[in-house]
């Protein structure tokens, strides 16, 4: 991976959304990259001011952003990532509906 790849992981790290392997790889990069450490500090300050409350009826939510952009996207998903390739069914069947709420607050 290159610097930009690690940089893309930083917002997710600030939201504690990386898996253990991703976090370990990013931590190794952070030891040697002051720019990414500063970026992580900035994102952690932003994340500390935000709270996200999810509806428990919505089992799968992805939170993401893009490097250098000032937004965070919250996406309710109808199946886990790569579920189609693993043959897993949707948890909301075709033609059915599901309503859920989430709330984002900034302190
Ligand atoms: Zn870096």
Distance 73 CA to ligand 1 centre (A): 23
Number of domains in the chain: 1
Q: If you measure from the C-alpha of residue 50 to the centroid of ligand 1, how many angstroms do you get, rounded to a whole number?
A: 24
pLDDT tens readout for residues 62-100: 877 776 677 778 888 877 778 888 888 777 778 988 888
- In angstroms, what is the span from residue 16 Cα to ligand 1's centroid? 18
For residue 14, the tally of other CB atoms under 10 A from its CB is 22
Cα–Cα dist 31/28, whole Å: 5
Question: Ligand 1 centroid to 35 CA: how many Å?
Answer: 6
Query: Once rounded to an integer, what is the mean pLDDT over residues 33-60?
Result: 89
Average predicted confidence (pLDDT) for the chain: 86
Could you tell me the distance, in angstroms and rounded to a whole number, from the CA of residue 71 to the centre of ligand 1?
A: 21
Domain that holds residue 23: 3-106
pTM above 0.75, yes or no: no
- Spell 65-84 as b/e; 16+ CB within 10 A means b: beeeeeebeeeeebeeeeee
The 10s digit of each residue's pLDDT in 1-13 is: 899 999 989 988 9
CA–CA distance, 18 with 9 (Å, rounded to integer): 8
């Amino acid at each position: 991976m290159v610097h930009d790849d690690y940089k893309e992981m930083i917002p997710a790290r600030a939201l504690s959304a990386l898996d253990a392997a991703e976090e370990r790889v990013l931590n190794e990069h952070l030891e040697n990259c002051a720019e990414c450490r500063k970026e992580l500090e900035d994102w952690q300050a932003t994340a500390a001011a935000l709270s996200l409350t999810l509806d428990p009826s919505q089992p799968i939510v992805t939170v993401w952003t893009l490097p250098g952009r000032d937004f965070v996207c919250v996406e309710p998903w109808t199946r886990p990532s790569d579920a189609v390739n693993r043959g897993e069914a949707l948890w909301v069947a075709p033609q059915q509906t599901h309503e859920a709420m989430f709330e984002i607050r900034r302190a």
